[in-house]
Amino acid sequence: MSRGSVAPPRPGSAAGTTQLGELPGVPAYAGGSAWRRDSLSADGIGWIGAHGGAGASTLTRLLGGTDIGCRWPDPALAEPAQVMVTGRTNLDGLRAVSRVLNAMREGRHPADLRLVGVVLIADLPGWLPPPLLARIRLLRSISPVYRLPWIPQLRVGAEPKQLPRQLSRLSAVVDRHVRSRRQP
């Protein structure tokens, strides 16, 4: 996971809280302290980017769900427990996905987190070299992997005229997992 910059706490307050002890961005009930959750939401799906530019925002726009960014879902924000990790198919992207999966293996993630799969988005059109394919085979031994092709229209912010079949298949997987969690 990325180690983004963190603003220092304001003088006189604990790190990550306001002076009233409320979490920033989390509404308080009338006359009470901030509402807090102990677990992730069972609803929806979250997209975790293994690195910047991994495609989490694009997949959120195309398929729905929550763009979590390059961090773990936050129970205090009622973010989804079911997640897909996204990354590019270049060497740095595959290494970043491996680091996220290793952190999950070591238990360095929120309780209740459930990995649905890994989505690898082509960094360029065409075939991948054998060393990158070998890394993808290794990832497949750990988690379901869904590969998406290069979609040139997305590069310039346009919607594709026709979605690639791989994206349609991924949409069905996402829908199936979201529906199965909502049923009692």
Whole-number Å distance between alpha carbons of 75 and 26 = 11
Q: Does residue 5 belong to any structural domain of this protein?
A: no
Sequence-ordered list of residues with C-beta below 8 angstroms from that of 56, at least 6 positions apart, any chain: 47, 48, 49, 67, 68, 69, 86
- The parent domain of residue 126 ranges over 46-182
What's 117's domain CATH number? 3.40.50
First-to-last C-alpha distance (Å) of the chain: 33
Rg of the chain over Cα atoms, rounded to whole angstroms, equals: 18
Whole-number Å distance between alpha carbons of 65 and 41 = 12
Torsion 172-176-114-143 (CA) sign? negative
97-125 confidence digits (pLDDT tens): 999 999 999 999 998 999 999 999 999 99
Q: Does residue 38 belong to any structural domain of this protein?
A: no
User: Does the pLDDT value for residue 17 go beyond 70?
Assistant: no
Mean pLDDT of the chain: 81
DSSP letter for 41, please. B
Q: Does residue 10 belong to any structural domain of this protein?
A: no
Q: Does residue 73 belong to any structural domain of this protein?
A: yes
Q: Does residue 7 belong to any structural domain of this protein?
A: no
Residue 102 and residue 72 in contact, taking contact as beta carbons nearer than 8 Å: no
Q: Does residue 32 belong to any structural domain of this protein?
A: no
Task: Provide the pLDDT confidence category of residue 154 given band limits of 50, 70 and 90.
Answer: confident
What backbone torsions phi and psi does residue 153 show, to the nearest 5 degrees? -60, -35
Q: Does residue 133 belong to any structural domain of this protein?
A: yes
Tally of domains within the chain: 1
Q: What is the pTM of this model?
A: 0.76
Q: Does residue 163 belong to any structural domain of this protein?
A: yes
